[in-house]
Structure 1
Amino acid sequence: MTVQPIDGWRFFVKGGKMDCVVDLEHGKCDCGVYAVEKIPCSHAIAAGTSVGLHISTLVCPVYLKDFLFKGY
């Protein structure tokens, strides 16, 4: 996949099944997967890694171990 920055948090990602605009700040991608599952899709992973972000920082906090432990 090729990643082109749009601005600080938005990227145009070309490749995969479709080309998408990814907004890492708001956790959204044109494919819709990231916004629904709250786990980064392949487009969000490509955009995040292109700017040096660790993938775990893109996952919604409700999936973190500490958050789950507090629920019990």
Structure 2
Amino acid sequence: MMIIVLTTQVEELLQARVVRASFLDVQETDPNQYEVRSGAYMNVVNLSQKKCSCCMFDVDKLPCIHAIAAAQTANVSRISKCHPYFRTEYLRLGYAKSVMSKDETCPLPNNVVEKRVKTPPVRTQSRRPKLTRAEGPFEIAMQSKRPRKAHCCGNCGHTGHNRQTCND
């Protein structure tokens, strides 16, 4: 039986990132820092501080593709680099305590009981309504994305220049 540590949606997101991370080149600079290259781009990942120069690791609190590639090189679990908020145990603990019912021994004042809360006034937008809804970050990430192919020269096949600026 497999123990599920992360929530299902986060695990699917990380699995999609693992596929994209397999195309990256990783070089260790010191035991905690790694240089991750994809074509002409380079990112620096610090696994102990959970930081990456692309800043996605800092914002999402989930390892980006660069951090996953570095973790695979360092033989570190990608799950250990996720924030505890994304763990199923943390989610279960949030619902573990019961919610207290209304205390009948302490009555509310009459002015509070008699007060009615009105709904806020709603004004319709003056422009044409949107037909499609905005997708969330998880929905965008879950779409099948392949890493971009590095552009290369038509003459020599190297990256970083084109046919017109080729020296060969």
Q: Normalising by the residue count of structure 1, what TM-score does the alignment of the two structures yield? A: 0.90
Deviations 1:10-57 (A, max 9, x none): 101111683100011111100010000011000000000011112111
Where structure 1 has 5 or more consecutive residues not aligned to the other structure, the ranges are none
Size of the aligned set, in residue pairs, is: 72
State whether structure 2 residue 80 is matched by structure 1 residue 57: yes
- Choose 1 or 2 for highest CA Rg: 2
| Structure 1 residues 7 and 69: alpha-carbon distance in aligned structure 2, compared to 1, 3 A threshold | same
* Cα distance in 1 between the residues matched to 2:82 and 2:65: 13
**SS across alignment from 1:53:** coil
User: Mind listing any 5+ residue stretches in structure 2 that lack a counterpart?
Assistant: 1-23, 96-168
- 8 Å Cα contact 1:22-1:44 kept in structure 2: yes
- Tell me the equivalent position of 2:54: 31
Q: Residues of 2 paired with 1:17 and 1:69: CA distance?
A: 44
RMSD: 1.5
Report the counterpart of residue 70 of structure 1 in structure 2: 93
Instruction: Report what 2:63 is aligned to.
Output: 40
Q: Give, in angstroms, the shift of residue 6 of structure 1.
A: 1.3
How high is the TM-score relative to the length of structure 2?
0.41
Q: Is the CA contact 1:18–1:31 (under 8 Å) kept in the aligned structure 2?
A: no
- What secondary structure, in the 3-state scheme, does the structure 2 residue paired with 1:52 have? coil
More helix by share: 1
> Hey, what does 1:13 align to over in structure 2?
36
SS at match of 2:41: coil
Q: Which runs of 4+ in 1 moved over 2 A?
A: none
Counting aligned pairs with the same residue, the percent is: 33
SS in 2 for 1:21: strand
Moved more, 30-39 or 18-27: 18-27
